[in-house]
Each structure stands twice: as C-alpha cells, then as structure tokens.
Amino acid sequence: MNNFSDYINQYTNGKKVCILGFGREGKSTYRILEKYGAQASLAIADLNNVDREANGLPESVELICGKDYQSCLDRFDMVFKSPGIVLEKPLSELSCYITCETQVFFECFREQIIGITGTKGKSTVTSLIYHVLHENGVDCRIAGNIGIPVFDIAEGMEENTVVVCELSCHQLEYMTVSPKYAIFLNLYEEHLDHYGTLENYYNAKKNIYLHQNSEDDLLINSDIAPKEYNTWHTYTVSDKDKSADVYVKDGVIYYGDPYVIPVDRIKLLGVHNHYNIAVAYYIAMMYMDENEFTEALCTFEPLSHRLEYVDTVRGIRWYDDSISTACATAISALQSVPGAGTILIGGMDRGIDYTSLVDFLADFNVKVICMEASGKRVYDMIQAKDDFKDKSRVYYADHLEDAVKLAAEITPEGKSCVMSPAAASYGIFKNFEERGDAFKKLVAGLE
C-alpha cells in the first residue's frame, strides 16, 4: 500500500500515541500525525523541556518532560521513537508498541527504496547515488540519517519515485521491514558505548537485509556477507577479494565490462572512495549507461568533513576528516591526502580497539598528535610499543585548539595535516560537524 495519508490514518486509528523525542524527527512525526493521523490522543515525551507555544502545540497534546520522561510509555498503545533515543527498558518489558518513522515509511514504500548502511561511507554513497540518479532524470528523493526525516519526503510520492535512504544502526535496531535494495558497506567497531559488543552492533545493522525476500537485492561487503543468503539476490563488493561480484582495484571497477574511474576528473579524494564509487556504479547501471554515470560522477561535490581540503596556511595543506570515528578511516586518510605530514587523532573514548591504527602508525612516517581521552589511550599504547619507529614524532595535546597550534609548528612546509580523529566527538562537541567547523576556524585563525 503506498497511499501514505490513508496508511497513517489507519495505522493510528483510535490509538493512544506518544512521540518519544522531539528533535528534528519528532517534529516531523508530529506534523504528519497532526495532519493525517486518527489517534485517540497524542503526547510528546522528551528529556528536555518542550516549549508548547514556540512549537505551536495545542493543549490537547500532552507534554511529558524531564528525567522520568520514559516512565510513561506503557500508558500508550503506540510509541514513535526517535533514533537518538535509547530505551531505558528492553522491548520485552514494555507493553506498548514501539515504532518509528522509518518503520512506517518502509511499510508503505519498501519496493521503491535503496537503503544504505555501514559504519563508514554511507552518507557519501547515499549522496552520490542520489546525485547520479537525479542528474540522469530519475524521479528520486533522498532522506534518512543524511539529515532529512523520511516523513518529510513522503507526501506526493509516485509509484516510480526512487528513495535513496541512509540508515543508521539506531534507525535499523527495531526494524521489521527491509528495503527492496539493501547496501551494507562495511562494519567497524562503533557505538560500543550503546551496544557493548561488535556482534550486538552488527545485529542492529543486519535489519537492513534480514527482512528482505527472495525478489530483493543485497549488495554487501564480502568481509561480512551472510552465507545463508547466498541463494538469494546477494552480491558482494570488495577491493580485496577478486571473486566478489563487484570488485574494484587500481581505479578500475570490475562488474560486467571493466569501468575505469576517471580519477583525474572527480573530486572524491582517496582510494577508499573508489569502493564507494563502485557501489554507486552497481546501482546506476540499473538506470543509465556508463557515459551518463561518468558525467554525473564528475559533477559530484564531496560532503563536508570527509577528507575535505580546508586551505593552505603557513605552507601546510589542511584537511578536515572529522567524520572519522574508526581506525580504518584514519588509516585511509593518511593513505589518501597528498604528502601527509601530521595527523590529529582522538576524541571521546568509546572503548574501541586501536591496535590496528597503532600498528599502522608504527611504520608510517608521519607526525602524530594525540588529543582528548581516546587520544591519550593511543599515546600510551604507542609509548608501550617496543617496535614503534621514532616515538619522538608522537605528541599529546589536551584539546583540538592545542593540537592545531602544535601542528602548525611541527608540520613541515609543503606537507599536509589531516584531522582524522578515529573517535566520536560527543561530550566535547555536539557532533562531528561542529568539530569540523571548529577545526576550520582554528586553521583560519593561523593566518
């Protein structure tokens, strides 16, 4: 069923409904429920205070705010949970039905959705797929974890409208429906403060394909491909495994006839982005030919804070890779920026294993500035590593401001300094965007 307004009406008919979390998605949910819903009552629950007047909320909408905001949930038939909210009780201990925008939207439109998840690269791949489709005249919309709630694009959907949807682990955690086309890019240690183990984190992500049927497509990194799905429409993608259905190496994508990535014409920096391009190429070939894909690829503007060139100041090229929250992305950053001279590492300590990064840095001739809590752990690991070459190139600075000042002093002229923290920003900055913006301001202040 894809008559969205009717579906919302039937979905909420006669039910006591609560919106849990009143941020961007919660407000989107409220707008749609207020317009199309047939709920018996509506409430909003949030840890923070919700201003009734500023948000135009009528007296009929109950507000439940403060530290006990989740204690009310069992009073309701249905709870729309925002992805940023962590439930204080497991589902088994709640009598209410937990749902979310993504669940409802997928129930309506799953046949039209290309869903993308993974620890790293999902925003780039989502944006790139949308760009090449849009540039070639495909009726498409972009939404999800990219910053656009799915309810914001739901009205006016046609049967041939394609939705390119970025999906986080928090959006997928309780999903019972999967998209027609699922893309699972990779899996690294992340969000362990919430999930505890990599397995739990993976289990949340797996919902992107777990509820697919035999007519659906799954494109997944060969390292994490589920063996039990090999008889379905499962395709692997890799830059290491030549037997993968989609294989990319040395700037060439092997999927059907080899496709040479026009590396001298594109703005996506780094070999790791060749993998992302290969994923987009797989999808694009359903809608266009190679020449059309190439023309669109060459006009794609990379997203901010993803190996973004900032400026050349004091003879140093500065790069913002604030999106980096894993060892693999910091390693890719060093392998991708031209003439890497210094890397800034560290942020919130979420307990991830930094062994692979420390091992890489041991033999990679670059100056390392560690900062914040996770950076201190990396610094201590390096000092304890007997075979780390030249520990005099490793420094510790308390915060980002100190790290940038130090980098300006020790980075050789003509070299690059990249902030690729391999750590979350929370507790220090609001998000990785704020961290990246702060880095850019500090660099500008060096002039």
- Annotation: binding site for ATP: 118-124
* HSE value, Cβ hemisphere, 13 Å, CA-based, for 359: 6
Q: Name residues whose C-beta falls within 8 Å of residue 358's C-beta, 6 or more positions apart in sequence.
A: 378, 381, 382, 385, 388
For residue 67, how many C-alpha atoms fall within 13 Å in the half-sphere facing its CB? 0
Q: What is the DSSP letter of 229?
A: G
For 125, phi and psi rounded to 5 degrees?
A: -65, -40
- Cβ 133 vs Cβ 200: under 8 Å: no
Nearest-angstrom CA–CA distance, 389 and 202: 35
Q: What is the Cα–Cα distance from 221 to 231, expressed in whole angstroms?
A: 17
Residue holding tokens 């790791």?
272
What is the C-alpha separation between 26 and 179, in angstroms, rounded? 22
In eight-state DSSP terms, residue 234 is E
Task: Please count the CA atoms within 13 angstroms of the CA of 315 that sit on its side-chain side.
Answer: 8
For 34, phi and psi rounded to 5 degrees? Answer: -65, -30
List all residues 6 or more positions away from 400 whose beta carbon is below 8 Å from its beta carbon. 344, 371, 372, 419, 428, 435, 438, 439, 442
Q: Which residues are annotated as a binding site?
A: 118-124
φ/ψ of residue 42, rounded to 5: -135, 135
